[in-house]
Amino acid sequence: MTPTATRPPAVTSTPYATATAPTAITTSLERTKYQLTAALDYARHHLVVTQTITYTNSTGEILTMLPLVVEANRLPGVFELDELRWTDGQEIKGITLEGARMDVPLIQPLAPARTAAFSVFFRIALPARAAPLGYSTHQVNLGDWYPYVPPFQPNHGWLIHEPGLVGEHQVYDVSMYRVALRLVGQQTDLTVAASAPALIDGSWRRYYVDAARNFTLSLSPEYVMLHDNSGPVAVEAFVFPEHRAAGQAALQTTASALALYGRLFAPYPHASLSLVEADFADGMEFDGLYFLGREYFAAYDGTSRNYLTALAAHETAHQWWYGLVGNDQALEPWLDEALSTYSELLYYEADYPEHVNWWWNFRANRFQPTGWVNSTIYEHQTFRPYVDAVYLRGAKFLQSLRDRVGETEFRELLQMYAMRFSQGQAKAEYFFNILYALGASDDPTSEYFRR
């Protein structure tokens, strides 16, 4: 896509107020920083954004071009790029935008550890679809709504994947976010769910996140907000009025699972977690926020033996296996999906031990799953075989591993994996290196993994 000749008036705001954010784990190089100032017209389903990206070269190579992932541009008529400018106001020329990849030519070669900063001016015409990016009659969802710098892997390059027919394909680095949101137009009386708590500054909502994979929003005039402040993390549920009781149950599960996983794996890195009832099917994890489909709320039966409870625990686990510890979701999806599925079992063992056998039968055994745990998303054409192989056989593999090495070593494995690769990018080989360092002497993968 070619930038248009003129840009709309930039979205501006007053300077950011001082705020206390969760302490970030320090790194040798500064994280990429995204400053996003956005005006959303909910009724018109339209977003105008000024984004400033500050990138420090962590590749170890000299760069002449910086790629951005623009996931919204995969959909026709959704992403409209107006222009890019260096922070001194000079226009950036020679940009290419094809599919979800935008290549930004750098004004001069960027050496390792050196920083480049520029602004992107764009608009989003939200698609009429119930999805993580789109709108329905009940909500507007803003997931993956802005351009971002993909991770770089030595000897491989930039991790930019095409979607598969199933699964997720994006890979994210941990970055810093400063987001300012203003609601404009005819409908501004909205409840806003976000990846972080908002500071209200006049007509602006301001968000500060020092270390996260992404920043996500969901808005609706219908949401009922439910709160759990029983622990150090503020957990909030945003649900539709007819599902208040189910929302309370999902909130309780989320808060309890959050506390449990913080003890078992590593401390949760954020001050809050939001769960949002979605108008789209299934669930979708983002850092600091997750969606869960309304079909699970509607089917809630008042017990803990249902998808609502199991999947609330699953999506909460993604805050560790995806959020805290990143991985390549396209090529090694088991690293987050199998671990999150097995974390459901750990939740039931802790809170509902009488339902452990039920969980195995309900979530795994009744499907008689087959397939290789280490499948990529591209090896499956439909949802069921993918879930059977990666999620369910993945959970069975982890149980077999637990049986082999024993309870103490298994807990140490999960904890060491979470702590060692906190806010980084993990690979399967790293997981197994820790396993062997703990004393495992044989190969536990032969039944489950393709060679």
Vertex 72: Cα angle to 211 and 172 (nearest 5): 30
**What is the dotted CATH code of the domain comprising 223-319?**
1.10.390.10
- Of 34-38, 173-177, 414-418, 438-442, the range with the lowest mean pLDDT is 438-442
- Eight-state DSSP code of residue 74: G
Buried b (16+ CB within 10 A) or exposed e, 54-76: bbbbbeeeebeebbbbbbbbebe
> What is the percent of the chain with per-residue pLDDT over 70, rounded to a whole number?
94
Write phi, then psi, for 390 (nearest 5 degrees).
-85, -45
Looking at residue 19, its pLDDT comes to 27
Q: How confident is the model at residue 428 (pLDDT cuts 50, 70, 90)?
A: very high
Q: How confident is the model at residue 29 (pLDDT cuts 50, 70, 90)?
A: low
**What is the dotted CATH code of the domain comprising 1-6+27-212?**
2.60.40.1730
Mention every residue, 6+ apart, whose C-beta is less than 8 A from residue 250. Answer: 237, 239, 275, 292, 297, 308, 309, 312
Looking at residue 450, its pLDDT comes to 92
Looking at residue 13, its pLDDT comes to 44
Give the model confidence (pLDDT) of 107-159 as tens digits.
999 999 999 999 999 999 999 999 999 999 999 999 999 999 999 999 899 99
* Look-up of token digits 């810093």: 176
Where are the chain's structural domains? 1-6+27-212, 223-319, 334-437
Statement: residue 319 has pLDDT above 90: yes
Domains 1-6+27-212 and 223-319 share a fold: no
Domain 334-437 class?
Answer: mainly alpha
Q: How confident is the model at residue 444 (pLDDT cuts 50, 70, 90)?
A: confident
Give the model confidence (pLDDT) of 328-366 as tens digits.
999 999 999 999 999 999 999 999 999 999 999 999 999
Statement: residue 21 has pLDDT above 80: no
